[in-house]
Structure 1
Amino acid sequence: VDGLAAEREQGITIDVAYRFFSTEKRKFIVADTPGHEQYTRNMVTGASTADLAVILIDARKGVLTQTRRHSYLAHLVGIRHVVLAVNKMDLVGYDQQKFDDIVADYRAFAESIGIAAFTAMPISGFRGDNITTPSPNTPWYTGPSLVEHLERVEIDAERDRARPFRLPVQWVNRPDLDFRGFAGLIAGGEVRPGDKVRVLPSGKMSSVARIVSFGGDLDVAVAGQSVTLTLADEIDCSRGDVIAAADAPPQAADQFEATFVWMADEAMLPGRSYWLKLATQTVSATVQAPKYQIAVNTMEKLAAKTFDLNAIGVANLSTDKPIVFEAYGDNRTLGGFVLIDKLTNATVAAGMLHFSLRRSQNVHWQPVDLDREHHAALKNQKAAVLWFTGLSGAGKSTIANLVEKKLARMNRHTFLLDGDNVRHGLNKDLGFTDADRVENIRRVGEVAKLMTDAGLIVITAFISPFKAEREMVRRMMAPGEFLEVHIDTPLADAEARDVKGLYAKARAGQLANFTGIDSPYEAPDDPEIRIDTTGMTAEEAADAIVERLIP
């Protein structure tokens, strides 16, 4: 099944290869996945949609580290059916004792990681023993052949039909004024016209009027079918909502514990904002510092500050609004998710939700009578954030200070948040690693948002080297409220100023993670205001910024 030239040349599997075959009883899709540790993300991708895993063991070698890794990953992604195929039995003379020893060894490991049951069979891929029919070479084996077992095993889709009804809404189908239906793939249970349902996260109740399919109306629809439901009542329901059984609805929460499989070359940065896609829901999410990383070869739990490529670990996750979910072990569709980089749109991780954190159920928004518009009106101004970004020594603090003084003379209510000052208090515990820089900006962004809620014009002077975090803060604010101000100074000019002597220390190797020297700076592509300090004074720059803010 190897399809890539590199796979055939090296005799290894690199990427997932899908092959199709059928028997008189079933159709099958085989996902051939790589087994090497460096291709963990490829294996998880292939296994994530599988109903059954075939774990191949060389009868001459027995249970290896690779066997343990494969089994752990299969269990991790929720594969309930495992076949232990002890291959190359012809090379050990079809020795029953050899087979029994391997099975006993594997059973001890399987039980330790939570695999409740597996089916073991002796096979020879080269000679075809016990592949399609029982082999006369193993009279001591009385179980089914591999194909016979595949034809009989109960797949997850059959189990899902016994669960409570779930339909993530993919599309609101409204071809004309007389029809409004909600289309999606049923992720659990079954539904009939007249069934009481609840739309989540709103919690509104209704009942199913019709089940519409391509072939006409249905009397019943089950897990795995794509259908359109019409409801008896005109209630609000849109893409991302979940229509569920009224008497057994799933939860909605915004904080979770989850297992992550990191798939990006760039390491995970705690506090960075990613897109989270779960079923048809897409929300903004941040990952907290890992609780631990799992060494897939030994199953040890290791301390970790981040997740690198192919790492598997557990961390808490928070979303900007509640999402409807179930534990991955109960429902793959509503428990499995991917994280997407907001700038590149690349998938950086796959994950599995364990449970919601109790605090997410107990913390609610408290309504207040005086809103942000009221506070701004009292000050006779519009709240805004002037977000200064640029290299160290570019002139951010100097120009920001001048801007605040000019606005004060215009009777504007302002507050200046300076990077150095904030690190003396609120962010005193943070260093200058990439992860700490991300958390630094996340905290400052939240403070700036609170200040705009108070109706203030907030001026921030931070290097803020990463585009992703600046965009995260932008999304916190109301449209048009965030103005990115790039103090654009060439590195050579900033280094020549070196008022604080930091560049000299960085060049001498006495200061690590210094932006522009050994830590990157991602300049804005299209800021609202760009200040070229090589062509104007600080006073002129401040005047230009104030004029842009208050024409």
Structure 2
Amino acid sequence: MTTTTLIASRADPASVTSQFDSESALRFITCGSVDDGKSTLIGRLLVDSRSVLQDQLAGVQRGGAPDLALLTDGLAAEREQGITIDVAWRYFATARRKFIIGDAPGHEQYTRNMVTAASGADAAVVLVDATKLDVAAADIALLAQTRRHALLAALLRVPSLVFAVNKLDAVPDAASAFARIRAALQAFAQEAGLAVRAIVPISALQGWNVVEPRADWCDYRGPSLLALLEDLPVAAAPVDEPFALPVQWVEKPSAQTEIAQGRRVFWGRVAAGAVAPGQAVTVLPGGQSATVMQVLDHVRQGGSGRAGASVGLVLDRELDISRGDWLLAPGAHPPAREIEATVAWLDDEPLTAQRVYWALHGHRWVKARVTHIAHRLNVDTLAEEEASELAPNAIGHVTLALQEPLAVRPYTASRALGALVLVDTATHRTAAAVLVR
């Protein structure tokens, strides 16, 4: 294997722009190493875009000046320790578009929170602290968490990856430092196979090149970070894939469901494709077949549904279907009992072969045994190393044997059908994010 086979394949951004919508709300996260300025950056975006009320700003004053990081660090433990622990979501809008921001923690022990935030993001802004790097060295060594978070964003198929080089106001020669850090980031991205949208110099504390551009600063003539975010695309719903819907709730017939003609309604969010009356579906794991009689929306109006929409399906016959089952296009998603996958290991206990976990796919739980650990990815060298276990926060390649078959697809083809979560059967802690290969 090559050194990049554990990284999800990424197309050239210019070649996939047509697959995205640049007008919808952009959901992006900030990530990177500890104290790189992620919370401060979000605070600066909120303040300079006039999305913070005066009483909110007055509540984060420290020593006569606002502590911008406190606008997102809302937990008591976060304010006491000065770190981000959980993902904080904030919302703001400009004249051009709306944004949903996730402030992901930088500490290794909270990597699971970063993975959760990135799994549904349209973009990831990876911050790089210029003051932590030896810019005079022949080869600048990037921080481990910078590399890890960039790799995780790529594995999770975040469509747009942006590096923001922060704290350039605190280094003697900002232009030279930025040029050398940019070269190191470009070399890392090329080695790892990452498609990077842009590398932007900023000072979150001073507000330089965050909302308003700073002309010719650091020999950079591109857009400010906010202007760049305003033009990033949003991932389009996978409507061209075969139909798939995980059943979340089964509604029994009642007086309120007369439109369903006395039949049960199977509610869920369409994971892929589209559905309309008259369409044939197959039930997993039962294997029965049926025809869709009605498709109900959230106000129980009949019609059709497409990927991303929450719908209720009424079938032409009564079948034994419960929460966790899947309704699928016939023959399109052959079930598998053994899968090869890339895992981001999130538990505090290391992963060892032959252990059994609960695997969650959609809303369905099955037992899964780790039969083989093939490789561990060295985030520093990007080499695949032989491994008998995966330590906390490691990324590796494993084989899983499932107690019951699942309709999985490669994660590079489907985010919804290619993702699973492993849960420890004893502690019930989330153990791993699983991406089907």
TM-score clears 0.5: yes
Aligned partner letter, 2:108: E
SS of 2:99's equivalent in the other structure is: strand
Q: Residue 247 of structure 2 corresponds to which residue in structure 1?
A: 169
Residues 36 and 297 (structure 1), Cα distance of their counterparts in 2 relative to 1, 3 Å cut: farther
Aligned partner letter, 2:327: I
How far apart, in 2, do the equivalents of 1:229 and 1:205 lie? 14
**From 199, 202, 205, the counterpart of 1:123:** 202
Residues 119 and 220 (structure 1), Cα distance of their counterparts in 2 relative to 1, 3 Å cut: farther
SS of 1:35's equivalent in the other structure is: coil
SS of 1:44's equivalent in the other structure is: helix
Residue 228 of structure 1 deviates from its aligned partner by 0.6
**From 321, 325, 348, the counterpart of 1:241:** 325
Note if contact 1:134-1:144 (Cα within 8 Å) is conserved in structure 2: yes
How far apart, in 2, do the equivalents of 1:190 and 1:340 lie? 31
How far apart, in 2, do the equivalents of 1:296 and 1:25 lie? 37
What TM-score comes out, normalization by structure 2 length? 0.71
Q: Residue 445 of structure 1 corresponds to which residue in structure 2?
A: none
Q: Residue 211 of structure 2 corresponds to which residue in structure 1?
A: 132
Aligned partner letter, 2:105: P
Note if contact 2:333-2:409 (Cα within 8 Å) is conserved in structure 1: yes
How far apart, in 2, do the equivalents of 1:219 and 1:130 lie? 47
Q: Does residue 414 of structure 2 align to residue 331 of structure 1?
A: yes
Q: Residue 49 of structure 1 corresponds to which residue in structure 2?
A: 120
Q: Residue 222 of structure 1 corresponds to which residue in structure 2?
A: 306
Residue 243 of structure 1 deviates from its aligned partner by 2.1
**From 206, 228, 235, the counterpart of 1:149:** 228
Question: Larger Cα Rg: Structure 1 or Structure 2?
Answer: 1
How far apart, in 2, do the equivalents of 1:332 and 1:111 lie? 24
What 5-or-longer segments of structure 1 have no aligned partner?
A: 355-551
Residue 92 of structure 1 deviates from its aligned partner by 5.4
Q: Does residue 151 of structure 2 align to residue 80 of structure 1?
A: no
How far apart, in 2, do the equivalents of 1:200 and 1:140 lie? 57
Note if contact 1:94-1:137 (Cα within 8 Å) is conserved in structure 2: no
How far apart, in 1, do the equivalents of 2:278 and 2:230 lie? 35
Q: Residue 100 of structure 2 corresponds to which residue in structure 1?
A: 29
How far apart, in 1, do the equivalents of 2:238 and 2:334 lie? 18
Higher mean alpha-carbon deviation, 103-112 vs 178-187, is at: 103-112
Residue 54 of structure 1 deviates from its aligned partner by 0.3
Residue 204 of structure 1 deviates from its aligned partner by 4.3
How far apart, in 2, do the equivalents of 1:314 and 1:144 lie? 38
Note if contact 2:263-2:318 (Cα within 8 Å) is conserved in structure 1: no
Q: Does residue 140 of structure 2 align to residue 69 of structure 1?
A: no
Residues 85-114 of structure 1: CA deviation (Å, up to 9, x unaligned): 122344458955654443332122112222
Q: Does residue 387 of structure 2 align to residue 308 of structure 1?
A: no
What TM-score comes out, normalization by structure 1 length? 0.57
Residues 332 and 65 (structure 1), Cα distance of their counterparts in 2 relative to 1, 3 Å cut: same
The 5 A counterparts of 1:512-531 are none
Aligned partner letter, 2:243: F
**From 181, 187, 190, the counterpart of 2:274:** 190
Residue 326 of structure 1 deviates from its aligned partner by 1.4
Residues 447-503 of structure 1: CA deviation (Å, up to 9, x unaligned): xxxxxxxxxxxxxxxxxxxxxxxxxxxxxxxxxxxxxxxxxxxxxxxxxxxxxxxxx
Note if contact 1:254-1:319 (Cα within 8 Å) is conserved in structure 2: yes
How far apart, in 2, do the equivalents of 1:249 and 1:202 lie? 16
How far apart, in 2, do the equivalents of 1:82 and 1:44 lie? 15
Residue 137 of structure 1 deviates from its aligned partner by 5.0
**% identical aligned pairs:** 43
How far apart, in 2, do the equivalents of 1:333 and 1:257 lie? 16
SS of 1:317's equivalent in the other structure is: strand
Note if contact 1:94-1:138 (Cα within 8 Å) is conserved in structure 2: no
**From 244, 256, 276, the counterpart of 2:339:** 256
Q: Residue 64 of structure 2 corresponds to which residue in structure 1?
A: none
Residues 124 and 57 (structure 1), Cα distance of their counterparts in 2 relative to 1, 3 Å cut: same
Residue 49 of structure 1 deviates from its aligned partner by 2.6
Residues 133-168 of structure 1: CA deviation (Å, up to 9, x unaligned): 433354964543323333332222x14234333211
Note if contact 2:270-2:311 (Cα within 8 Å) is conserved in structure 1: yes
Residue 250 of structure 1 deviates from its aligned partner by 1.9
Residues 7 and 195 (structure 1), Cα distance of their counterparts in 2 relative to 1, 3 Å cut: same
The 5 A counterparts of 1:409-420 are none
Note if contact 1:20-1:28 (Cα within 8 Å) is conserved in structure 2: yes
**From 366, 370, 393, the counterpart of 1:283:** 366
What 5-or-longer segments of structure 2 have no aligned partner?
A: 1-71, 255-260
How far apart, in 1, do the equivalents of 2:264 and 2:275 lie? 18
Residues 74 and 269 (structure 1), Cα distance of their counterparts in 2 relative to 1, 3 Å cut: same
Residues 343 and 101 (structure 1), Cα distance of their counterparts in 2 relative to 1, 3 Å cut: closer
Residues 101 and 280 (structure 1), Cα distance of their counterparts in 2 relative to 1, 3 Å cut: same
Note if contact 2:372-2:400 (Cα within 8 Å) is conserved in structure 1: no
Q: Residue 213 of structure 1 corresponds to which residue in structure 2?
A: 297
Residues 18 and 94 (structure 1), Cα distance of their counterparts in 2 relative to 1, 3 Å cut: farther
Note if contact 1:130-1:146 (Cα within 8 Å) is conserved in structure 2: yes
Residues 321 and 55 (structure 1), Cα distance of their counterparts in 2 relative to 1, 3 Å cut: same
* Aligned residue-pair number: 352
Residue 212 of structure 1 deviates from its aligned partner by 0.7
Residue 25 of structure 1 deviates from its aligned partner by 4.9
Q: CA RMSD in A?
A: 2.9
Note if contact 1:210-1:217 (Cα within 8 Å) is conserved in structure 2: no
Note if contact 2:375-2:387 (Cα within 8 Å) is conserved in structure 1: yes
Note if contact 1:192-1:221 (Cα within 8 Å) is conserved in structure 2: yes
Higher mean alpha-carbon deviation, 114-123 vs 180-189, is at: 114-123
Residues 235 and 131 (structure 1), Cα distance of their counterparts in 2 relative to 1, 3 Å cut: same
Residues 24 and 224 (structure 1), Cα distance of their counterparts in 2 relative to 1, 3 Å cut: farther
Aligned partner letter, 2:315: L
Aligned partner letter, 1:328: Y
How far apart, in 2, do the equivalents of 1:230 and 1:284 lie? 30
Greater share of helix: 1
How far apart, in 2, do the equivalents of 1:201 and 1:236 lie? 10
How far apart, in 2, do the equivalents of 1:116 and 1:249 lie? 30
Residues 234-274 of structure 1: CA deviation (Å, up to 9, x unaligned): 4554332322334x722310101122233333333432322
Residue 125 of structure 1 deviates from its aligned partner by 1.3
Q: Residue 129 of structure 2 corresponds to which residue in structure 1?
A: 58
Note if contact 1:273-1:284 (Cα within 8 Å) is conserved in structure 2: yes
Note if contact 2:201-2:218 (Cα within 8 Å) is conserved in structure 1: no
Residues 130 and 162 (structure 1), Cα distance of their counterparts in 2 relative to 1, 3 Å cut: farther
SS of 1:79's equivalent in the other structure is: coil
SS of 1:106's equivalent in the other structure is: helix
Aligned partner letter, 1:147: L
Note if contact 1:257-1:316 (Cα within 8 Å) is conserved in structure 2: yes
